[in-house]
Amino acid sequence: MSSLLSSPARILPTLQTKSFQPYFSSLPISKNFISLLGTSSSMPKPAAGNRLFSIMSSAEPPNGLQGSRVKGAESFLRNVLASMEAVYLSRNPTAKSILELVRSAHDDTICYDHIAFRTFGMDGHGIDSLASFFLDFGYTQKEELSFPAKKLKAFWFSPPSISNAAYDGDGVNGPLPRVFISQLLVDQMSKQTQDIIRKYTKCSCNGKKHAALAGALGSLTWEKPSHSEFEQLTRESEYAAWTLVNGYALNHVTISTHRLKSHLKDIKSLNLFIEENGYKLNSEGSVLKVSPDGLLLQSSTLADSISFEFSDGITASVPCSYIEFAERLVLPQYKHLPETEVKEYHRRDGFEVGNADKIFESTSKQQQMANA
């Protein structure tokens, strides 16, 4: 199924949110990650620091137009996120089941702490290819995280605060999530692996300019690889192999546990609840990953697998995505606040390299075998 026309279409499932219907929900997506080759003309790329979308300007247009612009742009952003989420839920039954389980256990509302993507740091297909979309809609680039052993780097992006005060809904209809985007440092890989990655990023043409669209459609921007190429990447970097067959699809979404209303707001209680219901958690390091300051607690399931038909006719199981859980504790300077007065900005922000390094292992064969 190397083209949209030759692929059997199916309809994206209805989202699990209570009142949000994505614009793209009627678009077809491919079971095997349809390849779409971009053909748009080249456009100059503004510096990262200057990519804030015009709606975030402090200059108020006449006749109260600023509010409508913000509302319209945010509606579009949430439609894109909703379509990304729909693709994610259609391919990852564990994530879908856990979200439903947590919602139904106490009629709870789920907020996403962050969503995450993986990319190739080559030919413009790295972090910038996705970051440009989020920066255009008011996100702010934050700290860089480095993972030398895995030959990765990442940036995280904070959501625009202008919107979240008005949204207390569920999932993508709730507070906008942080965004975590990582990339493989391809120039540090072997020549054979570099050649394979370069082959597919080059055949993507201008697909890198439409990374967010590819994620929303569940489509690769390059042709399907051969099974032998996938295996070569797996031997050197499971991250590289994952990205080759999943492209810009969501790598994971993360439940913000402290925003839950029941006893499951304590991540240890949630972990136990998940395991008691028969789901395996990533045990790399330990099930519960704790930052050195003790204020960021994280855990995750193991990735689901999906059947993938490679270009040489071989069909094999490949790792897909997983779901994460994060509890952010109150910063020491705000410990005196009553719990009812604690807001998200009173809690530990950002990410932790040690935690994230172990969370990456949720898609590894070693974790799959250890938890079999």
Compute the average pLDDT of residues 229-250: 98
Lowest mean pLDDT among 17-31, 147-161, 170-184: 17-31
DSSP state of 19: S
The pLDDT value recorded for residue 167 is: 56
Mean pLDDT of the residues in the chain: 83
Q: What pLDDT digit, counting tens, does each position of 261-273 carry?
A: 999 999 999 999 9
The pLDDT value recorded for residue 316 is: 97
**Rounded distance between C-alpha atoms, residue 85 and residue 79, angstroms:** 10
The pLDDT value recorded for residue 162 is: 57
Compute the average pLDDT of residues 225-246: 98
The pLDDT value recorded for residue 372 is: 58
Look at residue 12 and tell me whether its pLDDT is greater than 80.
Answer: no
Lowest mean pLDDT among 60-69, 220-229, 287-296, 319-328: 60-69
**Rounded-to-5 percentages of helix, strand, coil across the chain:** 45, 20, 35
The pLDDT value recorded for residue 31 is: 40
**Rounded distance between C-alpha atoms, residue 93 and residue 284, angstroms:** 22
More confident residue, 16 or 154: 154
Lowest mean pLDDT among 37-51, 82-96, 308-322, 356-370: 37-51
The pLDDT value recorded for residue 294 is: 97
Instruction: Grade residue 168 by pLDDT with cuts at 50, 70 and 90.
Output: low
Of all residues in the chain, the percent with pLDDT exceeding 70 is 77
**What is the helix (H) or strand (E) element at residue 317, kind and residue range?**
strand 315-319
What are the strands of the beta sheet with 296-300, ordered from one edge? 140-147, 152-158, 178-184, 112-120, 252-256, 322-328, 296-300, 289-290
More confident residue, 35 or 257: 257
Going by their DSSP bridges, the two strands 112-120 and 178-184 should be labelled as parallel
Under 8 Å CB-to-CB from 36, ≥6 apart: which residues? 4, 207, 210, 214, 217, 219, 220, 221
Q: What pLDDT digit, counting tens, does each position of 328-370 carry?
A: 999 999 999 999 999 999 999 999 999 999 999 999 987 766 6
* Tokens 């410990």 -> residue: 335
Look at residue 32 and tell me whether its pLDDT is greater than 70.
Answer: no
Q: Among the residues of 160-209, which ranges form H helices?
A: 161-164, 191-203
More confident residue, 21 or 196: 196
Look at residue 56 and tell me whether its pLDDT is greater than 70.
Answer: no
**Rounded distance between C-alpha atoms, residue 310 and residue 292, angstroms:** 42
CATH of 95-161+168-370, one of 3.10.180.50, 3.30.420.10, 3.30.9.100, 3.40.1710.10: 3.10.180.50
Q: What pLDDT digit, counting tens, does each position of 188-228 carry?
A: 999 999 999 999 999 998 999 999 999 999 999 999 999 99
Q: Is residue 247 a contact partner of residue 37, using CB atoms and an 8 Å limit?
A: no
Going by their DSSP bridges, the two strands 178-184 and 289-290 should be labelled as unpaired
Structure tokens at 241: 């192999």
180 CA to centre of own chain? 7
Look at residue 152 and tell me whether its pLDDT is greater than 60.
Answer: yes
Return the SS3 of 33.
coil
Look at residue 182 and tell me whether its pLDDT is greater than 80.
Answer: yes
The pLDDT value recorded for residue 88 is: 98
